[in-house]
Amino acid sequence: MSRRTLRGAAALVGVADAASPTGELDTHGRALEAAMVHEALADAGLTLDDVDGVAYAGSAAGLAEFLGIRPRYLDGTLVGGSSYELHVEHAAAAIAAGLCDVVIGVYAATPRSDRRRPGAGRRGMPPGPNPALEWELPYGLRLPIGGYALAASRHMAVYGTTPEQLAQIAVDTRRWAALNPRARYRDPITVDDVLDSPMVVSPLHLLDCCLVTDGAGAFVLTSAERARDLRKPPVYVLGAATGGTHQMISEMPDLTVTGGAVSGPAAFEMAGIKHEDVDLLMAYDSFTITALLHLEDLGFCPKGEGGAFVEDGKLGPGGSLPMNTNGGGLSYTHPGMYGMFLLVEAVRQLRGEAGERQLDDPKVAVAHGSGGVLSTMGTLVLGTEEVL
């Protein structure tokens, strides 16, 4: 089967997300998930009666039961923050194969407000065995930031990347957050502010690190044919691919190269686009080094040149490569698995619904998720009808 068979077969037709400047939400658990699903369906002009597929990073069957859905398609893929990019890839393939017609995906986690909620436990933390707890944590590696610090240190040692260059990513992301009224942090910051913030794990400072907030989101995916008759302009899945390299950071083949070096080119090939066609990059920014590695591995600049590439502020408002226009995981919200918010912002930008931060008539967006500790990458190329 051709790698291009998914191009334009399915479209995102509804999205929703919840975030707050306080970092906390009033609703949690299944109630929050259900609210997101209903909001995304309303955005699409659909109802639960239309849904025959459920994607959820955990027990998709449990969510379907709660919502009263009898699905023909279930996807419980859980690989961390990129799970939602993989959900879209899988659902697009299922729709193209005729296995289902309307798929919902949802994510909700409230780690910040859970701190005050008795018995809340570790809501939002991926379940399942984690060998790093046995083979890395006991030897002093702080999780998860320790792995990212290792990647940043290696990148600096091999390519001469500087703390100032990493800091510029945080500065530009904050510039976008200043335009988003729901962002957790909106006050401007400078490179010096980042470098003066507390060192968390060398060489990463506090402002190199993502937030810990409540947050939730959902998407609705359907066939391209059905999408044309729904409430909002469809956002087509033009390309999709996955790239995985390891689970534990100690098993990462090269600390400076992620699976995005595989998923990026494959998704771009399927979509039939070049880098200059991309109007918006939504790239997972759990840490500044995460975003820098994405820029290189996706091919926006050569390996090792990410630091110099970002120095001129091209990622921020008015720049030549707008990235993370909602404020990203560094300044908007980050409940633990951020990939859902990449999708939501990409769709809103392509539909012209991003308010003050709206780009000028974007046609192509890339949503690139990162799961685990730089472990599993999922790349989606999304586009408007004009590029089909």
Position 2 scores a pLDDT of 46
Structure confidence at residue 119 as a pLDDT band (50, 70, 90): low
**pLDDT above 50: residue 40:** yes
- Quote the CA–CA distance of 117 and 172 in Å, as a whole number: 34
Position 116 scores a pLDDT of 84
Q: Across residues 278-306, what is the average pLDDT?
A: 98
- The tens digit of pLDDT for each residue in 312-347 reads 999 999 999 999 999 999 999 999 999 999 999 999
How many other β-carbons are positioned within 10 Å of the β-carbon of residue 217?
A: 28
Q: Which CATH superfamily is domain 10-117+209-387 in?
A: Thiolase/Chalcone synthase (3.40.47.10)
**Beta pairing partners, 360:** none
- Quote the CA–CA distance of 306 and 235 in Å, as a whole number: 29
- Quote the CA–CA distance of 386 and 302 in Å, as a whole number: 30
Position 137 scores a pLDDT of 85
Q: Across residues 24-28, what is the average pLDDT?
A: 96
Q: Are 304 and 296 in contact (CB under 8 A)?
A: yes
Does pTM top 0.85 for this prediction? yes
Tokens encoding 356: 């003050």
- The tens digit of pLDDT for each residue in 155-180 reads 999 999 999 999 999 999 999 999 99
Q: What is the DSSP string of 90-138?
A: HHHHHHHTTS-SEEEEEEEE-HHHHTTSTT--STTS--S--THHHHTGG
- The tens digit of pLDDT for each residue in 52-69 reads 999 999 999 999 999 999
**pLDDT above 80: residue 120:** no
**pLDDT above 90: residue 1:** no
* pLDDT over 70 percentage in the chain: 96
Structure confidence at residue 188 as a pLDDT band (50, 70, 90): very high
For the chain, give the mean pLDDT.
95
- Quote the CA–CA distance of 38 and 23 in Å, as a whole number: 22
Tokens encoding 139: 């030897």
Position 131 scores a pLDDT of 87
**pLDDT above 70: residue 132:** yes
